[in-house]
Amino acid sequence: MRRTFAVVLCLSLTVLLFGCKAKEAAEKASVEKSLEEKGVTDLMEEIANDKYTPPADGRLTDAQVQMYLKVREREVKIAQVTKQQLKEQAAKADKEKNSIAGMVDGFKALKTAANFVTADLRAAKELGYNTQEYTWVKSQILAASTSAMTEKMTQAVNSSFDQAYQQTKKAYDEAKDETSKKMYGEMLASYDKSRQEMAAKQDTDPAVAYNRQLLSKYEGAINAWAKEWSKYEDKPGEAQKAMDDWQKSVDASKKPAQ
């Protein structure tokens, strides 16, 4: 029975692996076909026809966030193909430098680089979305992500600030002479003033706050930037790991004050 189960499991994993490889190959072929059939110039001409008027309140909808996530998934696949093409073309151009063939490969590399840069717009078009709406949605999501990152950094700064304040307050309370007490008192007043100024700067735009909350239903707001950077990574998960490490370092900086 155990042997039969092991055989069935092995066959199932083989079929699953083959299916994944076949899917990846099909997606790669689909991207390559799209790049061949529609150049950057053609893409830009299509995009020029898109029009979109953003809502006055700046708030995203669930449908728009879902659109962004779908476009981003397709964008990464396009970026991966174009990045590989760019590496191959650049290497070939380097080998054939100072020759006509090398110049041709160099021009191909420039065209591929343009395809990489416009991968998200191509993805939006392929999925049937309005690129102007997509561009606005992307800007709102990244603004929300930037806000979340800034808030996290501010919390770390405030934590260090509180620690310094507590130490200064202790020194003020323990001061034995008026000169020292006056000096520490002025430092505390300066801390209070700086804290009020920082608090005033922390007021979050209502639209950004709303969009952050909406985005949290799908992924952490901070992770939006990590996902954006994923198209540049050489190994899957590098961008997310870098973001996770950054968050851990920021959290660690707050611990002494807790």
User: What does the pLDDT read at residue 62?
Assistant: 95
Helix/strand/coil (H/E/C) assignment for every residue in 159-225: HHHHHHHHHHHHHHHHCCCHHHHHHHHHHHHHHHHHHHHHHHHCCCCHHHHHHHHHHCCCCCCCHHH
Q: Which two tokens stand for residue 210?
A: 């709303």
pLDDT digits (tens, 9 = 90+) for 87-143: 887 777 666 665 555 545 554 566 777 888 899 999 999 999 999 999 999 999 999
Question: Nearest 5 degrees, angle CA 9-CA 13-CA 14?
Answer: 115
Pick the range with the lowest mean pLDDT from 101-105, 192-196, 213-217, 251-255: 101-105
Mean pLDDT, rounded, of the chain = 77
182 pLDDT more than 60 = yes
pLDDT digits (tens, 9 = 90+) for 59-83: 999 999 999 999 999 998 998 888 8
pTM for this predicted structure: 0.68
- Closest listed residue to residue 229, CA positions, set 120, 85, 135: 120
